[in-house]
């Protein structure tokens, strides 16, 4: 991504900072949750739910902060809305796939909640 020049509009620098922070944060948090799952850490289910919630909150936060900046072009607003909607859908697909398994699986109960199998 090229650097934003000092003459760029304010919304461009806000958007670049927010998206960069999003990428750095979640390319760190999702692997941490993955490692917690591999190590059979009891915190894994809670950590994964927290990462999902933070990811959705981040997408909503980016939308709020960037849309609050003045003079945001319509084409940029539409492209940003499409991107953020896609990111939220990605999180909800992940939730739809993993949450039933985390809630109902006997293996999850034994592995992560340290319960004895029935």
| pLDDT per residue as tens digits for the range 40-79 | 888 999 999 999 999 999 999 999 998 887 788 889 899 9
Q: Which two tokens stand for residue 89?
A: 């859908």
Give the side-chain half-sphere CA count within 13 A for 35.
6
* pTM, to two decimals: 0.86
Q: Which two tokens stand for residue 118?
A: 């029935």
Q: Where are the domains of the chain?
A: 10-112
Q: What is the mean pLDDT of residues 28-38?
A: 95
pLDDT in tens, 7-27: 888 888 889 999 999 999 999
Rg from Cα positions in the chain: 18
Confidence of residue 87 (pLDDT cuts 50, 70, 90): very high
Alpha helix positions (H), the chain: 10-38, 44-68, 74-104, 106-112
């Amino acid at each position: 991504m090229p650097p934003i020049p000092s003459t760029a509009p304010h919304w461009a620098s806000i958007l670049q900072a927010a998206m960069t922070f999003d990428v750095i944060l979640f390319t760190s948090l999702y692997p941490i949750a993955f490692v917690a799952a591999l190590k059979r850490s009891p915190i894994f289910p809670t950590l994964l739910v927290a990462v999902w919630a933070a990811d959705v909150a981040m997408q909503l936060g980016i939308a709020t902060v960037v849309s609050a900046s003045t003079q945001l072009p319509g084409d940029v607003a539409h492209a940003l809305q499409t991107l953020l909607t896609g990111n939220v859908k990605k999180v909800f697909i992940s939730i739809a796939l993993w949450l039933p398994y985390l809630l109902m699986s006997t293996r999850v109960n034994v592995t992560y909640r340290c319960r004895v199998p029935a």
